[in-house]
Amino acid sequence: MVPSSAAEIPAPGRTPIWAHLYVQVLAAILIGGVIGHVWPTFGESLKPLGDAFIKLVKMVIAPVIFLTIVTGIAGMRDLGGVGRVAGKAFAYFLVFSTLALIVGLVVANLVQPGRGLNIDPASLDPGAVAQYAGKAHETTVVGFLTGIIPDTFVGAFAGGNILQVLFVSILFGVTLVLTGDAGRPVTSFLEAVSAAFFRLVALVMKAAPIGAFGAFAFTIGKYGIGAIANLAALVATFYLTAAVFVIGILGIVAWVNGFSIFRLIRYLKEELLLVLGTSSSEAALPSLLEKMERAGASKAVVGLVVPTGYSFNLDGTNIYMTMAALFIAQALNIPLTLQEQVVLLLVAMLSSKGAAGITGAGFITLAATLSVVPSVPIAGMALILGIDRFMSECRAVTNFIGNAVATLVVARWEGALDRDALRTALSGAPAPVAAQPDPAAGPGEKELVATD
């Protein structure tokens, strides 16, 4: 006989399709796009819905990152392990960020999306991009490095700078390890707070369809479908290149490391639709942290790789920078020598990190990159200002997938990837039942449990 309590539990897979978050977000994007196209003024007025949702998510990002990193490091109890994970993560970031820059450069040279536009540089409006150029000049290597250190410990959370939160989180986690047994009550307390915050994230994510609806209605209402048509060659080239990078390059990396890029994309479909609708990968950061742990990556690896990747592993942004720079030069009929393109590539490697955490980082890093090629005026960025919002969506989605792949790969390199949990997650099977901590185990030492 089946116990009555068990008989009352709904069978897996009977959830109505409309109750799935990804279906709700997709429907919201479609409805928002229609409203923005048919009633553009009304669509623009819906911008506060998207902005409010992004603010809701940003409200919880800093504490979620802090709690994930601190409890992860404290659970490792091995500072050497923390250093290994960080070293492997940065090695991965350097290789694939550089590869993304090269891919963008090569494709732009082969396809030449700006060829034939024959735009007169004198007709450009420098004022249209002045704010981005100004921020680009304010961003220096020294300023970037000193900016990682907050003015106060609490200031890191108040400012919402991911790098500052990452910095204080690592310091505090390392301190708990060095404190030893005296720090275990603090770790246990933070683990309990972490559970509460992830429940809060789940509540916030229920508003995702509303945020995606407002953000997409605004985008279509303000810029219109015509903005894409005017520069269709660049938009199409960028989207296709990003797709080739994800499916081809990252797909091979995933295959070598024992998982499918297509199954990973399916596993993250809710988050990807949210990123697409809001044009912000930050909107799905808390969910990515949770899903990477559910996919078998250890909390310590997830806590270090994901937030760091959001600043240093920007594959989509890197493809965009080199491609957009060459598009502008081609549209203005300004030939770039191989030497100038190599310099542009090297500067892009630095500028893509220097603007991390800055609003509109993609456009700002492009301005910083163009500033080292005197023959290409920064005012040329005005050519793509109207379609940057549409490019931003692809940048964010590519960055998001790149960081998910990086997390699983680094976890595998570190021997901190539960293969059974990964297979279960990517197969679409029901999520494991949450484990109850073993009273005899120390903080961070929870037993693995079987799936339902």
Convert the pLDDT of each residue in 135-168 to its tens digit.
444 455 566 567 678 878 887 777 766 777 778 8
Domain extent for 197: 20-426
Per-residue model confidence as pLDDT tens digits over 67-116: 877 877 777 666 777 778 888 988 999 899 889 989 988 998 888 877 77
d(CA 45, CA 41): 6
For residue 249, the 8-state DSSP code is: I
Q: Is residue 452 part of a domain?
A: no
Q: Residue 300 falls within a domain, yes or no? A: yes
pLDDT at 386: 64
Report how far residue 422's alpha carbon sits from residue 430's, in angstroms, rounded to the nearest whole number: 12
Question: Does a structural domain hold residue 439?
Answer: no
Task: Return the DSSP state at 297.
Answer: B
Rounded CA separation 446/143 (Å): 41
Q: Does the pLDDT at position 261 exceed 80?
A: yes
In a domain, 2, yes or no: no
Note the pLDDT tens digit of each residue in 224-256. Answer: 766 566 567 788 889 999 999 999 999 999 999
Give the DSSP letter string of 346-376: HHHHHHHHHTTT-TTHHHHHHHHHHTT-TTS
290 contacts 296 by C-beta, under 8 angstroms: no
Strand partners, 416: none
Q: How far is CA 26 from CA 136, 155, 208, 271, 293, in A?
A: 35, 37, 10, 11, 25
Q: What is the 3-state secondary structure (H, E, C) of 388-431?
A: HHHHHHHHHHHHHHHHHHHHHHHHHHCCCECHHHHHHHHCCCCC
Write down the number of H helices and E strands in the chain. Answer: 23, 0
Q: Flag whether 411 is in a domain.
A: yes
Is residue 444 included in any domain, yes or no? Answer: no
Residue 69 lies inside a defined structural domain of this protein: yes
User: How many independent structural domains does the chain possess?
Assistant: 1
CATH number at residue 185: 1.10.3860.10
For CA atoms 411, 414, 420, 421, the dihedral sign is: negative
* pTM flag (> 0.75): no
Classify residue 315: in a domain, yes or no.
Answer: yes
C-alpha to C-alpha distance for 167 and 147, rounded to whole angstroms: 11
